[in-house]
Amino acid sequence: MSEPHLRIVNVVGCRPNFVKLAPLIVEMKKHREIRPLVVHTGQHYDGAMSDVFFRDLDLPEPDLYLNVGSGSQITQLSSIAQSFEEALRDLRPDLVVVVGDVTSTLACSLASIKLGFPVAHVEAGLRSFDREMPEEINRVLTDAISDLLFATEKGAVENLEREGRPRERIFLVGNVMIDTLRMSAGNVGRSAIVGRLGLAPKSYAVLTLHRPSNVDDRAALTHLAGALEELQRHIRVVFPIHPRTWSRMEQFDIWQHVSSMPNMQIVDPLGYVDFIRLVRDSLFVLTDSGGVQEESTALGIPCLTLRENTERPVTVTEGTNRLVGKNRERILSEGLRIIGGERPPGRIPEYWDGFAAQRIVQALLANKKEIKNFYRSVRERELCQKAASRA
């Protein structure tokens, strides 16, 4: 009789999840011992922020779509956890894999642990040490309850050890986002987005903006708009705008100001392939996104991060990233340095080599017996509870 499959539910909810999950699914499908399933929570319910990434990354259609939709963070957390709890009772996985630090990550981890299903967290141990960031809370709590922890860098391993997580549960595997970059290189090379937008390589900067601390605060967003107005006088700024960012600009009466800037080129959200091509051919990037900090480092593109801190310090210490916060003078001076030909030195961090997913799957297979035992303990507890209720 053949050995039973390792039934793994992989959770996605929004753009960063799709990018991180794609190489894992590809790698899992290479092994007959694994049966991967995909559950989409629907945290990103806009097609421009969700469906296009399934197409670009050749992800399989989700096995289950929870369709939770919009709402406050607490509303989404509750809705996702409740819906995922019901899904778990039907799917009965051996393991739940969550990635990143979004609301879906924490909600599905909580639901899994409460029902007794083991959780593996991909991208564990990253810390900004800023508890005002919703993502930081998600990261800390998810790591505290996860059974297997897959880290992208040595600093993340140190954070987990300092927080008391058992060393045997921590695996330094590298960065799955870099796996996706390598997997997608051919498609990125064929993208016509730069020409379609009427751009020449290295003649523009790319801007992304979506963090609540930047866009949900009228004063912060107004201040950033002023800094960008100064910068766009020196270089074209291409701005694929996040739906929530556009909504806040409208709400705060900033939209007309930003959209009328002569050298600000605002475009709809882009799919993964077009966005990476846009970044690859840019002179530099301005962002508040953790993932873009990593992607720009891997591509060797200078990055100015519009935050006071980062949970990805290796992009600063080893990569091409610089923290500039919301300081108008610093944003302008750092941008002008790059325009003038100064590029920050940088190298690709250790293990960011395109084989992170392979290392993760190898670790899962090496721990297959333990993972199966987790699942058996769930079944045994349920049977005992049923027997007790009949007594």
Task: Give the catalytic positions in this structure.
Answer: 210
Backbone angles phi, psi at 289, to 5 degrees: -95, 135
Q: How far apart are CA 297 and CA 319, in angstroms?
A: 5
What residue type is assigned to position 374 of the chain? F
Sign of the alpha-carbon dihedral angle for 278, 283, 287, 293? positive
Q: How far apart are CA 136 and CA 308, in angstroms?
A: 14
Helix/strand number for the chain, H first, E second:
19, 13
- How far is residue 203 CA from its own chain's centroid? 28
Rg (Cα) of the chain, in Å, rounded?
Answer: 21
Q: How far apart are CA 183 and CA 257, in angstroms?
A: 39
Order of all β-strands in the sheet with 264-267: 264-267, 236-240, 204-207, 284-287, 303-305, 321-323
Report which of 40, 8, 80, 17 is spatially closest to residue 360, judged by C-alpha positions: 8
State both tokens at 191.
């993208």
Q: How far apart are CA 275 and CA 267, in angstroms?
A: 11
Backbone angles phi, psi at 242, to 5 degrees: -70, 140
